[in-house]
Amino acid sequence: MATRKKGLMTKIGDAVEAAKGKAQAMGASIAKRAEGAAAEAKREVKQAVTAVEKKARATKTKVQRQVHAAEVDAKQALAKAQRTVTRKAKAAKADGEKALGKAERAVKSRVKAAATGARKAAVKVEQAMTPKKTAAKPAARKAAPVKKAVAKTVAQAAAVKKAVVKKVAATTAAAKKAVAKPAPAKKTPAKKAAQRAK
């Protein structure tokens, strides 16, 4: 009996040890599987974070490129506008200077022509006024109208001068006469009575 009991206990102990071993093996397997799953999850999370970071960097780079391109375009447009304004301002200045030069030349030309005409007229008048001993008939014919015009102008000037002098003399004489001959005083009633008494 005792031997049987001992054998049974031994078997029970062996069974318990075997169960423990199986439990430990199962626990180790489960732990190993859990560790593998956790490591896989960590790898997936790390890959996802890396992908997100990479995408964010790519998006940032793209945005920076677009901003830089927009700045370059804006600078180019500004430079082009400045060149256009400068070119137009230079063209307007050149046109103004050309117009001014043209106007100055026109005025100088007119003044020169007028001066030349005046000199020629003066020369003609002087030649017409200068007596010549032996003058050709054509020259005398040409000078005759000029002489007549000059004589007429001189006569008109003399007439005007004479009229002005005459008027000034008449005014002066009237003023002197008024100063030299005072107006007679009116007789008062007292003077009239004195004369009657005499």
* Predicted local distance difference test score (pLDDT) of residue 136: 46
Which of these, 147, 108, 107, lies nearest to 129 by C-alpha position? 147
Which two structure tokens, joined as six digits, stand for 111?
Answer: 């003044």
Q: Does a structural domain hold residue 59?
A: no
Residues listed for the chain: 198
Residue 128 inside a domain? The answer is no
State how many domains the chain has: 1
Assigned domain for 50 exists: no
User: Is residue 167 in some structural domain?
Assistant: yes
- Residue 168 is part of which domain span? 143-172
Establish if 155 belongs to a structural domain: yes
Question: pLDDT, tens digit, for every residue of 60-82?
Answer: 999 999 999 999 999 999 999 99
Q: What is the pLDDT of residue 135?
A: 47
Sign of the C-alpha dihedral computed for residues 176, 179, 184 and 186 taken in this order:
positive
Distances (CA, A) of 48 to 42, 57, 62: 10, 14, 21
- Residues 185, 189, 192: CA angle, nearest 5 degrees: 80
